[in-house]
């Protein structure tokens, strides 16, 4: 667990769960003044010369339209970068003021920000915080010391904190060969193990050992994260033909012995013990069992088969068990995205199913270090021009055609809320979330600069939303998409990192049928002329034309992602 100083008086509030019940303040005891504010200052990771901190401020006074939090250090700590607040420092005094998009702080509301800082010697925790000049109560615990408490397994709290992340030389070379690509060719991306042959390398390409050896060379004396996507379940991607896999629905034994076991054997090699190996476990699989089975309009026969035979649950459990037993492996289980799991019918059932998978085939919740959302998807990280609580002429944003009764409008709010739901069903309270930001920037000339017109709830949402997809269910090679936030550690409360798990420039699927020996089918959602199905509201697919097979290089898409990057390149 990480070092924390919580500026709080006991038992202030009963906090609502993810089900949306109201937050009820607890009245102070007679003679005890109400606490005007609380500050949770959490050192998420610390190393010899620096540390990463997440701060959550709760306002128990009158609502604010702007805010500033101040504290002082006892040592030589210097803030070097921050997020979700404008942070300045004069000597030992630090001020964190709101950004333009998060100045509103309701009575009883909270806001979070974070920063990286340097230090030498000791890193004592601050003892006093103020919010707009008013002192926030501080408990008499915490303070002093250093670092994070060790995990019994030897794992660190956040593998990304204080570490470099592996740059795949094969992807980097393709990116650098593109006009303008050198601007991002040094970014870290995921290595996809999407078939058995990928373990040893396909068509002369690098296999798993070659990537790990290259990571050791990049590592030097620093900490280094290697990101792997483990992705070859039987009956894979039962609702998306473009990413179908090589194994049939019943080939669970082959998955175990020819795919997971060889990967585990390589990762367990003591040669690689100094690497922090992050695995993204079987994207899209478990969410499909929630949304695309049974009597739902989105159900498919293959998804019904995989629900009935249990091989998604068994495969995920087996992978978690085998890989989680390796001390330097950090398993992150795929959790879909807000436009998939964010509805009430999907939110809690998904967490329950993930718990079932994480406790099958010998696995336990301790084998899950965290979850990843938005893998290879396009959901905007943060929609700043509207919130789920807004209404237009008495009509809730939830009733707009775009939001369609979802409880979440962007990936950050979903990931943070879903983390709480996962903890509520029995996952460890220290789990962290990853968000794939490789293609969710939505910049360029089409990016709105403010809210839409308030003539109707639809004009308000559609005019202000950054995500410019035709429908939130569209997923294949989306036109207008851009690179998102660059990979970074601990960017927000509960978030271990923003990552580029999907390498920008690799296709989601072919625009038309292409014969291949990779087990990949043709999905009409990748056809720009397709008029849609129940999963995307019978809308146009929004896909780019002339795309190659999934995973193959797509130069036109790469150029579009750079052109529409946000933050801009």
CB-neighbour burial class of residue 87 (10 A; exposed 0-12, middle 13-18, buried 19+): buried
Residue 474 contacts by C-beta under 8 Å, 6 or more apart in sequence?
378, 525, 536, 539, 541, 542, 543
Cα–Cα distances (Å) from 102 to 7, 16, 388, in that order, read: 21, 21, 15
Catalytic residues: 284, 508
CA dihedral 525, 529, 531, 532 (to 10 degrees): 0
In terms of DSSP bridges, do strands 129-131 and 68-72 run parallel, antiparallel, or are they unpaired?
antiparallel
Residue 37: beta bridge partners?
Answer: 59
Residue with the two structure tokens 């998804």: 303
Query: Would you say the C-alpha torsion 112, 118, 121, 127 has a positive or negative sign?
Result: negative
Residue 541 contacts by C-beta under 8 Å, 6 or more apart in sequence?
470, 474, 476, 524, 525, 526, 527, 528, 530, 532
Cis before 522? omega within 30: no
Taking Cα atoms as reference points, which of 327, 342, 252, 324 lies closest to residue 281? 324
Taking Cα atoms as reference points, which of 556, 567, 336, 347 lies closest to residue 466? 567
Q: Among the residues of 25-79, which ranges form H helices?
A: none
């Amino acid at each position: 667990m990480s070092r924390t100083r919580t500026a709080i008086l006991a038992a202030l509030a009963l906090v609502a769960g993810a089900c949306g019940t109201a937050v009820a303040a607890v009245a102070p005891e007679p003679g005890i003044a109400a606490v005007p504010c609380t500050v949770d200052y959490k050192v998420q990771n610390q190393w010899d010369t620096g540390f990463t901190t997440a701060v959550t401020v709760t306002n128990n006074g009158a609502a604010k339209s702007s805010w500033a939090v101040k504290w002082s250090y006892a040592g030589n700590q210097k803030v070097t970068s921050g997020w979700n607040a404008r942070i300045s420092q004069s000597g030992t005094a630090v001020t964190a003021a709101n950004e333009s998009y998060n100045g509103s702080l309701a009575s009883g509301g909270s806001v979070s920000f974070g920063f990286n800082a340097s230090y030498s010697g000791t890193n004592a925790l601050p003892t006093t915080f103020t919010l707009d000049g008013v002192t926030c109560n501080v408990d008499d615990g915490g303070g002093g010391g250093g670092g994070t408490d060790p995990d019994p397994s030897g794992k660190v709290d956040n593998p990304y904190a204080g570490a470099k992340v592996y740059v795949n030389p094969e992807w980097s070379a393709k990116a650098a060969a593109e006009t303008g690509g050198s601007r991002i060719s040094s970014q870290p991306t995921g290595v996809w193990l999407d078939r058995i042959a990928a373990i040893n390398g396909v068509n002369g390409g690098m296999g798993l050992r070659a990537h790990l050896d290259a990571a050791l060379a990049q590592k030097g004396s620093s900490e280094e994260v290697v990101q792997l996507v483990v992705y070859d379940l039987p009956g894979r991607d039962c609702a998306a033909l473009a990413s179908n896999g090589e194994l049939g629905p019943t080939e669970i034994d082959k998955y175990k012995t020819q795919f997971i076991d060889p990967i585990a054997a390589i990762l367990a090699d003591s040669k690689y013990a100094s690497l922090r190996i992050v695995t993204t476990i079987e994207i899209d699989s478990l969410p499909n069992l929630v949304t695309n089975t049974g009597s739902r309009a989105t159900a498919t026969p293959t998804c019904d088969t995989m629900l009935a035979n249990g091989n998604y649950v068994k495969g995920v459990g087996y992978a978690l068990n085998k890989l989680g037993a390796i001390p330097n492996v950090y398993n992150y289980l795929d959790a879909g995205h807000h436009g998939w799991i964010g509805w009430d019918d999907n939110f809690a059932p998904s967490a329950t199913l993930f718990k079932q998978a994480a406790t099958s085939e010998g696995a336990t919740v301790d084998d899950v270090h965290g979850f990843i959302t938005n893998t290879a998807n396009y959901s905007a990280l943060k929609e700043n021009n509207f919130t789920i609580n807004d209404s237009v002429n008495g009509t809730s944003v939830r009733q707009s055609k775009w939001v369609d009764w979802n409880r979440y409008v962007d990936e950050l709010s979903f990931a943070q809320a879903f983390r709480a739901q996962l903890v509520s069903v029995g996952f460890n309270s220290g789990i962290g979330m990853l968000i794939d930001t490789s293609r969710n920037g939505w910049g360029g000339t089409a990016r709105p600069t403010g809210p839409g017109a308030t003539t109707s709830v639809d004009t308000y949402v559609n005019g202000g939303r950054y995500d410019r997809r035709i429908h939130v269910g569209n997923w294949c090679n989306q036109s207008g998409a851009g690179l998102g936030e660059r990979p970074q550690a601990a960017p927000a409360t509960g978030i271990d990192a923003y990552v580029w798990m999907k390498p920008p420039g690799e296709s989601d699927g072919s625009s038309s049928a292409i014969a291949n020996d990779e087990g990949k089918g043709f999905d009409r959602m990748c056809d720009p002329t397709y008029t849609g199905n129940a999963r995307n509201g019978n809308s146009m697919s929004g896909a780019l034309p002339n795309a190659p097979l999934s995973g193959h290089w797509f130069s036109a898409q790469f150029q579009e992602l750079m052109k529409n990057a946000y933050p801009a390149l």
